[in-house]
Amino acid sequence: MAEKNKATPKITTRIMNEEDISGVLDIDKKIRGPKRAITYADPVNDYIGGVVGISVVARAGDQVVGVIMGRLVNLFPHGTTGAWIEVLGIDPGWQGHGIGVKLMKAFETHCRKKGAHHINMLTLPHDDILKPFFESQGFTASRFIQLEKNIA
Ligand SMILES: CC(C)(COP(=O)(O)OP(=O)(O)OC[C@H]1O[C@@H](n2cnc3c(N)ncnc32)[C@H](O)[C@@H]1OP(=O)(O)O)[C@@H](O)C(=O)NCCC(=O)NCCS
């Protein structure tokens, strides 16, 4: 595991672009073992390779240290726009510096500008990394549950 950076770094956020992809993949590789949210142990969808327009990265200088990957969806039949978070990850060496919260704020601001009315994300009910973090950021259980059928 990477060592924690001692000094509080100057962190900037911006919309993710193509040059951030390798940094995002590096974070994904680094988060292993108990540091990895169980929701992302075996993701249902590949989250890299889609549209990156709604994704936000945090950077320390040139290094990508955090990412929220998301997408916008138009909701039928009401025609409202919502946002989905596909993945959230902070480089293990940079966790605990407020980067997760900063990224969430930047993502929210960006989604609002794009006309989104709400943000959704999926978590396993017993994920003790992701669930409490999102709850601390104002997320509550949706009135919908997800249904699925295996057709393989
Ligand atoms: C959960 C995660 C996003 C938190 O990011 P972070 O940058 O370390 O969190 P922050 O420093 O912004 O935390 C801010 C606040 O949230 C709290 N917090 C952080 N993680 C928390 C958690 N899991 N549960 C409850 N609170 C949490 C902190 O205590 C802090 O509160 P405070 O300001 O009152 O002290 C980060 O731990 C992470 O990326 N985990 C791994 C996710 C993963 O597996 N991704 C894989 C795909 S890349």
Among protein residues, the one with the nearest Cα to ligand 1's atom 46 is: 89
Percent of the residues in the chain that have a pLDDT greater than 70, as a whole number:
85
pLDDT in tens, 50-62: 555 789 999 999 9
Question: Looking at domain 12-136, which CATH architecture does it have?
Answer: 3-Layer(aba) Sandwich (3.40)
pLDDT in tens, 18-30: 999 999 999 999 9
Per-domain residue ranges of the chain: 12-136
**pTM for the model:** 0.86
DSSP string, the chain: -PPPPSSPP--EEEE--GGGHHHHHHHHHH--GGGS-GGGSS-SS--SSS--TT-EEEEETTEEEEEEEEEEEEETTTTEEEEEEEEEEE-GGGTTSSHHHHHHHHHHHHHHHTTEEEEEE---TT-TTHHHHHHHTT----S---------
pLDDT in tens, 114-124: 999 999 999 99
Is 103 touching ligand 1 by the criterion CB < 6 Å? Answer: no
Residue 46 has pLDDT above 70, yes or no: no
Distance in Å, CA 100 to ligand 1 centroid = 6
